[in-house]
Structures are given as C-alpha cells and as structure tokens.
Amino acid sequence: MKKLIFCFSLVCVGMLSSCVDKNELVDEKSKPSWLGESIYGELSNPDPSKGLTGTFKNYLRLVDDLGYAETLNRTGSKTVFPANDEAFERFFQSNDWGVSRYEDLTQAQKKMLLYSSMLDNAILVEMLSNVSSNDGIVSGNAVKHATSLNAIDTVTTYPFLSALDAYGERNPFWTRFSNGISLVSDATKPMLVHFTRDYMLKNSITTVGDGSDFSIITGGSYEDSNDAYVFGNRITSRDITCQNGYIHQVEDVVTPPGNMAQLIKRDKNLSIFNHMLDRFAMPVYNSQVTNNYHDWYAEQEKVQDMTGVPNPDSIYEVRYLSKMSQGNVKFNGDARSGGVFLDDNLLTFDPGWNEYYVASLTGSTATELADLGVMFVPDDEALSTYLTEGAGSILLTTYGKLPNTKENVMRNVEDVPLSILSKLISNMMNTSFAASVPSKFSSIVDDAKDVMGITIGDLKTKADGGYDVRIANNGVVYVMNKVFGPKAYEVVSAPALFGAETNMSMVNWIIQNVTYNNVYGLGLDYYAYLLSTSSNYGLFLPTNEAFDCYYLDPTSLTRSTGPEVIHYYYVGSGSSSSTAGSAGIAASRWKYNVETHQVGDSIGVIDFEGANNDANMPIIKAQLSDIIQQSTIVLGENETLQPGCYYLTKNGAGVKIEGSGDLSNGRVLGGGQLVDGLPASTITEVFNQTNGKSYAIDHLIQGTTRSVYSYLSTTPRFSKFFDLCNGFDTEIMAWAGISTEKEEGGTGIIESDQYKTFFIPGETSTSSDQQLRCIDYNVKFFSNYNYTLYAPNNDAVDYAVNHGLPTWDAIYEIFSKYNNEEGTTPDGEEEAKAQVKVMIKAIRDFVRYHFHSNSVYATTTLGSTHNDYTTFLVDDNTHISQNLTVWGDNTGKIHVKDVVGEKVIDPSNTNLMTNEMTRDLEFNKNRTQAGNYVTASSYAVVHELTQPLSYNSTEDFSQGLQ
C-alpha cells in the first residue's frame, strides 16, 4: 500500500496557528482532497486553479542550490513566501545588492533570499496575527514571525581595516581589530514582518486613503479588506495547502531588509546618525555562532572544495549598548570587548536586535511577536544643521576638538561622551510601532514626557513623492527632515550635564544617578524631575570646587570624637578605587572646628565597597540627597529669583538671595550660612534654560543644625514661651488624669504625647542603639516637612497670662498642695485635678496654635493672596484643626489673622527677630554612635510676636478654662 509523509498538524488547520515538525505515514487512499503536493512539487508545477500565478524557476533554483529540495519535497512543516519569475526579473533589474542576474548572487545572498522568505511552522495567512497565551489563541497581536535564516548564514568577514571603516576608526571597541574581524550583525533570528487585517484593526492602524498609516509606511495602498503584506510586499495568493506546509505567493521578491541598525548603515544620507549610532556598537565574541559555523564548515568540506571560503577562529556579533537588548535585558558592555558601562551611557533599545520585543518572556508567544521598535532618524542635512546651527550645537562646541562646522561634524561627534549622545539618539527611539504610526504622532512624547510635536510634514519624501519610511526586520525607521532633540539639553540640569567633563561632574552624577539601578542609587529620580518643562526652577549647581569646600556632617556634632566634615569628589565610573567602585564618587572625613570653621586633620576615607557599603552608602545617600534638594527651588510661572528675598527649597529649607540684577556674582545663603556661620555660596555663572535658570555656585548650600528647642531655649526674649512649651511634666499630667500609658487595643497612642511640645526620638526604646536619635530635642508634632512658629516674646506671654492664660508655676502650686512631703491631702483633690487638666490643656492649645504647617517667610514674594494654614491646635470634640489666615504685601510684611483679629510681622523692624531658621533632625540611631545619618528633617521658620495669637473669640484666655 502506497503511503505519504505529511505534516500531521495540517489536519487541525482550522484550529491552530502553527505546527511543529511531525511526520506521519498516511494511506494514499486516505489523503484528504484538499491536500496538494509538497511545497516543492506545487512550485514545480504551479496550479492556477489553486491561486499560484506564473512560474517559480528562480525560487526553486535557490532551493536546489542550497540543498533544500529534499526538505521542501517531503518533510517538515514550513510556510514559504515565494515570488514568481516575473518578480525575479524585476528584482534583477533593480536591487540594493547590485546583482543583475541569478548567476551574480553569492551563496550568502541566496541563503538570505530563500530563508528570509520561509518560516519553520505551517501558518495560514489569517492566523499570522495569532499568538498563544494562557487564555488560548488570541488574534490580532502578532506582527512578525521568526524566519528560517540562521546566524551562520550571515557571517561577514571584514579584512584588515574595513571593520574600523564601518564602525569608526577611533571607536575604542573596534581598534584592536585592525587586522580584520568576522561578524554577524546579531545572533538572534531575523524576523519576517507581516501586516494583516486583524493586527491593524486591533492596533488602530488606519488603512483607508493616501494619508493612512498603511500607505505612509508601505508606500502602497490597502486594496482589499482581506489583504495581507510581508514587509510592504502584498500577498497575491494565499493558503495554498501542501503536504508539508503552506505557500503564500507574494507580489515581489522578499528581500531581507536587515535590522534597523543595518538599514540605517546602508543609507549614505543617514551617515551622521549612523556614525553616532556606531559609537554604541560593540563586537562581542559569540561561542555558539563560532562553533555552529565550524561544524557547518566541516560538513561542507566533506562534499565540496571550500578553498577561498573563510573559516575564522572566532566570530563576533555586533551588540549595541542599550537598556533593552537580547532577551529583553540590558546590554551594558562586555569586559573583554570594551568594559561595562553605567546606565546613562545606554540607548533605549538595541537597534540591531533582530528579535526585538518589549515585555519579558512569559511562556507565551504574545511578547516576542507583538510589536516592533521605531526610530525617527534625521537625514544628514537636518542633523548637520541641528549640530552646527541649532539647539544641538552645544554638543559639538562643548566637546568637539575641531571648529563646529558642517565639514567637521563627523569628526566632532566622536568626541561627544556616550552619556550625552545617548540622550539624543534615545529621544528619537520609541519602543512601540503600534503606538507610533502616523495617526498617533500627536501622542508621542519626548524624554520629558512632553508631546514631541512630530507631524507627517516632518517626514522626508522620496523622489516619487512617497514618504521615506523603511521597514526593518525588527522595527520601522522614519527618515526625518527635522531633528527632535531631547529636553535634557535645554532644561536647568543641562549645564551640569555639559559640565560633567569639566567642573560639574559631581553634581551631574547626583542628578543622573537614578539611572544607575544599583546600590549606589539615591532613589530621587532627580533627572526626570528636572526635565519637567511645565515647572519653573531656580537650580543651584555646586561646582566640583564647591564640593572641595566640604559638607558639615550634622550627625557628628553630638559624637564624642567631635564634629566632622565630608569631602566628596568624583573619580569617574569604573574606577578601581576602593572608595568609589561603581558609584563614581569617593568621600573622605576630616575633623572640623565649628567655632573657627577650620578643617583639621584627615580621619580617613569612607569605604563604599563590600560589607562596608551597607553601613556607609546610606550616609552618603542621605547627605547627597540633602545637598541637591536644598539646591532646588520651584518657582511660579514666569517668576525669577529676586535679591533680598527668601525662598523654600525642595526639601523645605529656607534660603536667602542676595545680589542685584540677574544675580551674577550674587549670593545664596541657607540656614547653615545664616545661622551657623558657614561660608556663603557665591553665584559664579547664570544659565537661562527652558524651564528656569541655573546658577553655578562655589560653596554648598547647607541647612542649619539649630533646632526649635535650641533656638527658644537660648534666646532670652522667648524664655517664657519656652517654659510654656517645655513644662509638660509627665508626673503632673498623670496626676491630672492625662494617661501616660499606651492606649488599650494596640493603637500605640499615649494621651500625654498629645500634649508635649518636645521629645527625643527613641526616648522610650528599650534598645540603646535606638535612643537619643536627635541633636537635642525635636518638636513632637513635626513630621519631615516645613513649618512656621510665631513665637510670642516675654511681653506677649505676660499679656496672655494677664488675660487668663495659666502658667506652669500656678499648676505646680496646685499640684504641690496635694503632693506634699507631709503626705497630707486637703479636701477637693478631684476638683483640683480637673482644674489642672483644664489648665494644662489651655497651655497646650495656646502653644500649638502658634505653630502651623508650611514655612512662611517675611519677604516681598509672599504675595497678597490670603491662605489658610493648619495649626496644631485640634478641637477635642470635632477633631478638626484650627487655621490661621496668612498673607503678605509689597513691603515684605506678614499679616496673620487669628480668631480675634490681625497681627503684623514687620521684618524691617530691627528690634524684632524674623525669618529665623531652624531644623529638627532625626537620626537612624543613637546620636553618640558613629555611622549614623539623617533619616528625617523638619524645617521651621520663627517670627517674633509682640502680641500673642488668640484662638478664642475674645482676648480673654480664661475662656479656655471653662
């Protein structure tokens, strides 16, 4: 009985999207009526009734020459996209390879033509867009499939210096290959890109009209609602069923376009962009490709003369430094090929990665088949103009060794650091083709998440009037007549970015550090924060010399070893220094005299490496975070910093600006400079940027280490208010019925804590390591924010007392009456306890009414808008905080409206203390121990009051005793 070998899965053709190789012997008589010959047989004798048109001699010649006839005759499970001989004639008349007849094709070109038009599964056209998932088969998701092309089919041997010509003779990754190199562009499978009706419908890709997404991208028209295309090549006859797969005839020869990097490299009009892109190209040895090639070569030697065919010892693949490469993980270099690079040197994705996909593999085909990358590539004319005359000229004027002219562009871009260049190229990359078709250009955003503003008019047109759009095997390249540069070159952080090679490497490292994704990261996301073009910043950029002036470590002030300052300095990425490692920074400790402000002897380096990293890096993170946040001011729209005014920085600290005009040679003073006598920060240069102004400064801005407790306790005019704040004695409160124990039910609330003004973090801890976690005392109700204290002077407190406010002396007198040494207890103790509780509550309410959230400085920029600020006086019944209404005027006065009326704070009155800066600090562990650091910080500004604030409807404070 005669039997046939055919693909078993074709029996289930209506249910599955693909099949694996599975050959079964089937009775000749049982052969289904719809099952044709083998793929080879059908192409040898094309049957017009099945849809095939023309002859396929050229395609079969490829099959025969490559020894693939047996496979397509009998076995396997294949899908082929052949073109007929008429299409091959058109191909030989015009192609990028320069071949005019079949005989001119090299063996490698033959492989690319055959295997790039073949899939290793049997797939119907209507199922090309299907993917398998945990929910079964999902249609409309796939835009590509892996071809049969093998990496060893694309090995190219560059002799002598041609590799350097291709990838840059000054590119350090390639200079060691001056004697030649054998390469594959990428070791992953090249993909066949297909556009089906289901895919375009599901992804809202328009197909109707000359201005449709489809017509702009492919240059053709979508003629029928059931059409399908391979790259831009229409499938003319589909689903010809064979014993071992399917034939889908295409209109023109499927010519492998290569990946995006290859496509760009072939176009002479994109030479500048390609030259920049090659800066990120690194040759990486691939053992699998090398071994596979050697195995293939040995097999070929058995059957043919291999004279003249290279058999290199080592084969490399081209990898691009990127955050998303093979396996959907970043490629940050290779120690053997050129070193390992930090993330700010990486492109968004690898343009040479054939199998490009976005999401991580999840065990389904949904991720690796679902999308393509996109690149908006400016032609040489647009890019050379941008780099010499436009916004990008700062790159070449800053880094280029030669004058910034169009003739020198190719040479000068070689001098731009990868960390700078990556931002330009990455801004012109988009990770999703489906989200980047022309109809969605208006939603594409740049590095600042602002709409880029790309229009169809920005696309370059070809001689035939069509748009210059290229479909690669891993993405789509839009050739542009305009450059869309990154906001990183224009915003307030740009001077640090461009000064990173000279005098701003340290502050640039702090700003860019979020991209490092390692234990040295500050976790601030500051780079992205400063990109916001909807904000208006005043950004102070400490130069490297400013860091050389040291940073006072506030936690050292309470240690027995004495105060210390820290010296931060930049050592560059990849340093082998034990004090830097991957961090790119180093730090050393020095003794410091807080009275004379003199730096003493060196104590040693702060080691970040190994086990010491866990202990020391948090210290560095806390301090560097403090430095950059205290150097950032968020201003109102069109607002600029004004001399003589106070501003709040990002971390809530106050700073004062001194100077004139645009503040050139002006000064900025934080609390550390105004209160603690540290040197002022002088402005050495002013930069006008798109989202504010940047100011280079010669000293670090530092906050004060003076707490509210310290300020009130050491300022005689506030001694009576301090006594009120500090008098909440636990013993007296317990006697008056105010609980000093934790509330039942596990809430952890202690009633007496709701009365106290000052406390020491960790004071009740059973671990000595967690006790005494501040310099002296902190305000109990502060919480890592900024605040205002209107401090009544002694006369104002006397006024309040004369109008009914209790004193601690009066409370203690009552307490002593019932807690005397004789042990006698007069009558009326319960009434006395109740009276004392009311008196304590009155003092608590009076004190807390004088504090409110948000720091308000007496300055002309305060504005006349009336703002309600929440005080810390909370109604016991409603549990709602009382507010104070505050506003300013053009003289710099503060107007405060309480329940009774308005009080005015005038900073011009030199007899009053206004705009006094304080800072409550909390440490991670006991203040006496080494290695502690600031974990929380509460800034407060203090203004002197000559009249107390009243939270009652009259000035009679006795109402609080009812």
CATH code: domain of residue 48: 2.30.180.10
Give the model's pLDDT for residue 698.
97
Q: How confident is the model at residue 19 (pLDDT cuts 50, 70, 90)?
A: very low
Give the pLDDT of residue 581: 41
H/E element holding 716? Answer: none
Of 255, 288, 315, the last residue of a domain is 255
pLDDT at 160: 53
Residue 786 class from Cβ within 10 Å (0-12 exposed, 13-18 middle, 19+ buried)? buried
**Is the Cβ–Cβ distance between 474 and 328 less than 8 Å?**
no
Q: Is 152 within a domain?
A: no
Provide the pLDDT for residue 826.
Answer: 78
Is there a domain that residue 448 lies in?
yes
Alpha helices in 21-84 (DSSP H): 39-44, 57-65, 69-73
Range of the domain at 383: 325-489
Domain membership flag for residue 272: no
Q: Which of 356, 373, 390, 379 is nearest to 467 (CA)?
A: 379
Residue 431 and residue 543 in one domain: no
Whether 190 is in a domain gets the answer: no
What is the pLDDT averaged over residues 601-626? 81
Span 627-644, average pLDDT: 96
Overall average pLDDT of the 355-377 stretch: 80
Is 423 or 29 the better-scoring residue by pLDDT?
Answer: 423
Q: What does the DSSP 8-state code read for residue 743?
A: P
Which whole-number Å values give the CA distances from 664 to 548, 657, 679, 803, in the listed order?
A: 22, 12, 18, 52
Residues 690 and 788 in one domain: no
What residues pair up with 284 in beta bridges, in sequence order? 317
Name the residue with higher pLDDT: 166 or 773: 773
861-913 pLDDT per residue, tens: 999 999 999 999 998 788 899 999 999 999 999 999 999 899 999 999 999 99
- Going by C-alpha positions, the residue among 176, 579, 156 that lies closest to residue 339 is 176
Rama region for 737: left / alpha / beta (φ>0; ψ in -120 to 50; rest)? left
**Strand 536-542 versus strand 692-697 pairing type:** parallel
Per-residue pLDDT band for 221 (boundaries 50, 70, 90) equals confident
Phi/psi of residue 176, nearest 5 degrees: -75, -5
Do both 247 and 338 map to the same domain? no
Most confident range (mean pLDDT) of 175-189, 536-550, 615-629 is 536-550
* 814 lies in the same domain as 858: yes
Q: Provide the pLDDT for residue 340.
A: 81
Summarize pLDDT for 770-799 with one digit per residue, the tens: 999 999 999 999 999 999 999 999 999 999
Alpha carbon 711 to chain centroid distance? Answer: 41
- Average pLDDT (310-332) is 92
108 domain-assigned: yes
Q: Among the three residues 697, 716, 736, which one is the final residue of a domain in this structure?
A: 697
Buried b / exposed e along 572-591 (16+ C-beta atoms within 10 A): ebebeeebbbbbbbbbbbbb
Radius of gyration of the chain (CA): 38
Q: Which helix (H) or strand (E) holds 408?
A: none
Q: In which band, very low, low, confident or very high, does the pLDDT at 524 lie, cut at 50, 70 and 90?
A: confident
Of 489, 510, 534, the position where a domain reaches its end is 489
Cβ atoms 542, 700 nearer than 8 A: yes
Q: What percentage of residues in the chain have a pLDDT greater than 70?
A: 90
Within 8 A by CB and 6+ apart from 240, the residues are 36, 42, 50, 51, 52, 246, 247, 248, 249
Compute how many other C-beta atoms are within 10 angstroms of the C-beta atom of residue 195: 27
pLDDT for 364 equals 53
546 vs 562: CA distance, rounded Å: 23
Give a yes or no: residue 268 inside a domain: no
Write down the mean pLDDT value for the chain. Answer: 89
Verify that 533 and 652 share a domain, yes or no: yes
Contacts of 279 (CB under 8 A, 6+ apart): 168, 171, 413, 414, 416, 418, 421
Least confident of 166-175, 230-239, 555-564, 600-609: 166-175
What is the rounded distance in angstroms from the CA atom of residue 180 to the CA atom of residue 46?
Answer: 46
360 pLDDT band, cuts 50/70/90, is low
- Side-chain-side CA neighbours of 47 within 13 Å: the count stands at 13
Between residues 744 and 735, the one the model is more confident about: 735
Clarify whether residues 737 and 662 are in a common domain: no
Q: Is the pLDDT of residue 21 over 70?
A: no
Contacts of 268 (CB under 8 A, 6+ apart): none
> Same structural domain for residues 684 and 739?
no
Tally the residues of the chain: 962
- CA distance to 142, 309, 349, per residue, from 357 (Å): 11, 35, 10
pTM given for the model: 0.85
Confidence of residue 12 (pLDDT cuts 50, 70, 90): very low
How much is the pLDDT for 136? 77
Contact 231, 26 (CB under 8 A): no
pLDDT digits (tens, 9 = 90+) for 917-947: 999 999 999 999 888 899 999 999 999 999 9
Note whether 532 and 426 are same-domain residues.
Answer: no
Q: Residues 431-482: pLDDT tens digits?
A: 999 999 999 999 999 999 999 999 999 999 999 999 999 999 999 999 999 9
* Within a domain: 146: no
Residues 732 and 853 reside in one and the same domain: yes
- Cα–Cα distance between 615 and 648 in angstroms, integer? 31
Counting the structural domains of the chain, the total is: 4
How does residue 590 score in pLDDT terms, banded at 50, 70 and 90?
A: very high
Residue 76: is its pLDDT beyond 90?
Answer: no
Residue 158, pLDDT > 80, answer: no
Residues 389 and 459 in one domain: yes
In a domain, 188, yes or no: no
Note the pLDDT of residue 16. 32
CB 496 within 8 Å of CB 504: yes
Taking residues 397-419, what's their average pLDDT? 94
For residue 612, what pLDDT band results from cuts at 50, 70 and 90? low
Do 507 and 472 lie in one domain? The reply is no
pLDDT, tens digit, for every residue of 568-584?
Answer: 988 865 332 333 345 57
Residues 769 and 691 in one domain: no
DSSP element (H, E) containing 625: helix 612-629
Nearest partner of 23 among 118, 101, 122, judged by Cα: 122
